[in-house]
Amino acid sequence: MIDLTAYPPHGLLRAKDAATVLDTTEGTLAVWRCTGRHPLKFIRMGRNVRYRVGDILEYIETCTSDPANREAA
């Protein structure tokens, strides 16, 4: 597991490392980038893709739900 607290919020992770943090695969991240299915920001530098640590943390926060604040279905 990668310790995100060791990186500054503007630090960059490779797709492989971002996938590890999010417990998914690089292929899944590629699909998300192409389809826009999830609002995870990324940086493309030539053929390389990087993810800011702060953007990954923000994405995780948007995916977090609080059952106590759930509206009645």
For residue 20, is it within any domain? yes
Higher pLDDT, 71 or 2: 2
Our measurement of the distance from residue 22's CA atom to the centroid of its chain's CA atoms, rounded to an integer in Å, reads 6
- pLDDT tens-digit series, residues 20-49: 999 999 999 999 999 988 999 999 999 999
24 is in which domain, residue-wise?
A: 4-63
For residue 18, is it within any domain? yes
Give pLDDT, residue 65: 81
For residue 10, is it within any domain? yes
For residue 32, is it within any domain? yes
CATH number for the domain that contains residue 39 = 1.10.10
Is the pLDDT at 67 greater than 80, yes or no?
no
For residue 71, is it within any domain? no
Q: How many domains does the chain have?
A: 1
Query: pLDDT grade, residue 71 (50/70/90)?
Result: low
| pTM of the model as a whole | 0.82
